[in-house]
């Protein structure tokens, strides 16, 4: 099929920063795009050929949108799966498929899926609501500390809490949840797997994630991860196994823990481009967004190797700032070696909101890490 400079149309559900960065690639290849997002201010609105405002969880909205495109993908998991299933039945290509998304969208279902497919993950139990969870604590079936996760709707540190005592349960959401054993680990790692519908599969190098202690958000993503080669090979092999189990087409970001004794446990997955792959825009031969397009259009997959060491720093809203955004000292970081900022186009900042990211590339990863710290200290995302 001829995708380039024709009427072939790629539809994207979700118009946030991931969609915007995917649109860099569709612009590069002159692929026509339609984007649907609930916000009229969505970052994608200026780069898509057609932008529509609408509710991603509404059946009719998603179904009617999908009927206008040839291939449909998404950049956020919170979309109406029933609409995707109906579109698939009517011949619209949806990648990753509705079936893949159904196994991932609910974290309880996702964890159960790992268990059924002998994929290593931390011990867990699913609870239908907070009341059910409290009863398990009273019956002493559940012991402190544990990790609480909302089954749906959690992202960027939301919907995840460490519960150390009974009082910590009070502020938690009433929804269905999972309680996971708190595993002591050395590192949080991630591997992005690309797969096209012809069955070609490639993994990106293992990245290491350093987290912000309060916000539970990634502060630095480091590629390659500073781990033994044997551990890296094991992580890539497990990521490939996860990919095979989900039978996804597109990208699958597999987040993992490296335990104290170098076991690899799968934490969770995202069936789309991911924060842990942003470094690839500057540091890889084929960035994750181009790879997503290649995979869902069943084109040959690109080289996943890195050209150079890369570190990504998330730009999030400063704690006490809400309102029209100002990127304070951005010109100072632009003067630093190997530094590229990406601004997502969100006009309003609020505490810990993801507003952009900065990539630092350097042949010497230690030097890149020092510059990343300098970037972090210098730029501030504040309000007017």
Rg (CA), the chain: 21
Residue 216: per-residue pLDDT: 67
What is the location of CATH 3.30.470.20 in the chain? 185-383
Digitized pLDDT (tens) for each residue of the chain, 384 residues in all: 899 999 999 999 999 999 999 999 999 999 999 999 999 999 999 999 999 999 999 999 999 999 999 999 999 999 999 999 999 999 999 999 999 999 999 999 999 999 999 999 999 999 999 999 999 999 999 999 999 999 987 766 678 999 999 999 999 999 999 999 999 999 999 999 999 999 999 999 999 998 877 666 788 999 999 999 999 999 999 999 999 999 999 999 999 999 999 999 999 999 999 999 999 999 999 999 999 999 999 999 999 999 999 999 999 999 999 999 999 999 999 999 999 999 999 999 999 999 999 999 999 999 999 999 999 999 999 999
Type and span of the H or E element at 29: none
Residue 325: per-residue pLDDT: 98
CB 365 within 8 A of CB 311: yes
The whole-angstrom separation of Cα 200 and Cα 149 is 33
Residues facing 71 on adjacent strands: 10, 93
Tell me, which fold does domain 123-181 have in CATH?
A: Dna Ligase; domain 1 (3.30.1490)
Q: Tell how far CA 96 is from the center of its chain.
A: 14
Q: Does the domain spanning 9-94 belong to CATH 3.90.180.10?
A: no
Give whole-number Cα distances, 220 to 63, 131, 137, 328, in Å. Answer: 38, 37, 35, 20
DSSP category for residue 116: H
Residue 215: per-residue pLDDT: 66
Per DSSP bridges, beta strands 9-13 and 32-37 are parallel
The whole-angstrom separation of Cα 208 and Cα 191 is 9
What is the location of CATH 3.30.1490.20 in the chain? 123-181
Residue 155: per-residue pLDDT: 67
Q: CA nearest 30: which of 1, 61, 54, 7?
A: 7
The whole-angstrom separation of Cα 45 and Cα 357 is 19
CB 125 within 8 A of CB 179: yes
- Category of 171 on φ-ψ map: left (φ > 0), alpha (ψ -120 to 50) or beta: alpha
User: Which tokens is 176 given?
Assistant: 């269905």
Which residue numbers belong to the known binding site for ATP? 107, 149, 180-183, 188, 267-268
Whole-structure pTM value: 0.95
User: Which tokens is 260 given?
Assistant: 């104290």
Q: Tell how far CA 60 is from the center of its chain.
A: 26
Burial code of 345-383, b = ≥16 C-beta within 10 A, e = fewer?
Answer: bbeebbebbbbbbbbbbbeebeebbebbebbbebbebbe
Name the phi and psi angles at 280, rounded to 5: -65, -20
CB 101 within 8 A of CB 81: yes
Q: What share of the chain is helix, strand, coil (3-state, %, to 5)?
A: 30, 30, 40
The whole-angstrom separation of Cα 79 and Cα 72 is 12
Which residue numbers belong to the known binding site? 107, 149, 180-183, 188, 267-268
What is the location of CATH 3.40.50.20 in the chain? 9-94
Residues 6+ away with beta carbon under 8 Å from 161: 147, 148, 168, 172
User: Which tokens is 137 given?
Assistant: 């604590």
The whole-angstrom separation of Cα 16 and Cα 20 is 6
Q: Does the domain spanning 185-383 belong to CATH 3.40.50.1000?
A: no
CB 121 within 8 A of CB 274: no
Q: CA nearest 189: which of 96, 258, 104?
A: 258
Sign of the Cα torsion 142, 161, 178, 127 reads positive
Q: CA nearest 121: which of 246, 24, 254?
A: 254
The whole-angstrom separation of Cα 295 and Cα 115 is 27
């Amino acid at each position: 099929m001829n995708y380039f400079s024709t009427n072939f149309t790629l539809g994207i559900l979700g118009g946030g920063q991931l969609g915007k960065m995917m649109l860099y690639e569709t612009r590069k290849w002159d692929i026509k795009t339609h984007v649907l997002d609930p916000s009229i201010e969505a970052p994608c609105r200026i780069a898509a050929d057609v932008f529509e405002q609408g509710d991603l969880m509404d059946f009719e909205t998603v179904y009617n949108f999908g009927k206008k495109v040839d291939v449909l993908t998404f950049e956020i998991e919170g979309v109406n799966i029933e609409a995707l299933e109906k579109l698939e039945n009517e011949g619209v290509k949806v990648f990753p498929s509705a079936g893949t998304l159904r196994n991932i969208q609910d974290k309880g279902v996702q964890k159960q899926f790992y268990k059924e497919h002998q994929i290593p993950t931390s011990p867990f139990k699913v609870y239908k609501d907070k009341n059910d969870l409290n009863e398990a604590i009273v019956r002493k079936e559940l012991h402190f500390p544990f990790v609480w996760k909302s089954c749906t709707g959690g992202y960027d540190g939301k919907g995840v809490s460490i519960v150390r005592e009974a009082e910590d349960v009070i502020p938690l959401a009433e929804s269905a949840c999972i309680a996971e054993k708190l595993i002591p680990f050395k590192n949080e790692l991630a591997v992005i797997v690309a797969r096209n519908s012809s069955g070609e599969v490639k993994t990106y190098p293992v990245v290491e994630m350093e987290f912000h202690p309060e916000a539970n958000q990634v502060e630095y993503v480091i590629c390659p991860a500073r781990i033994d080669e044997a551990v890296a090979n094991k992580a890539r092999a497990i990521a490939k196994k996860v990919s095979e189990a989900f039978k996804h087409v597109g990208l699958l970001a597999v987040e993992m823990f490296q335990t104290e004794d170098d076991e690899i446990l799968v934490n969770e997955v995202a069936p789309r481009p991911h924060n842990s792959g942003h470094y690839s825009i500057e540091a890889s031969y084929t960035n994750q967004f181009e790879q997503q397009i290649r995979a869902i259009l069943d084109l040959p997959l690109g080289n996943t190797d890195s050209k150079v060491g890369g570190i990504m720093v998330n730009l999030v809203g400063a704690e006490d700032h809400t309102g029209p955004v100002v990127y304070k000292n951005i010109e100072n970081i632009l003067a630093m070696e190997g530094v590229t900022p990406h601004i997502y186009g969100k006009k309003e900042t609020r505490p810990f909101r993801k507003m952009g990211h900065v990539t630092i590339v350097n042949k010497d990863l230690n030097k890149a890490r020092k510059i990343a710290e300098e970037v972090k200290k210098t730029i501030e995302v504040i309000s007017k």
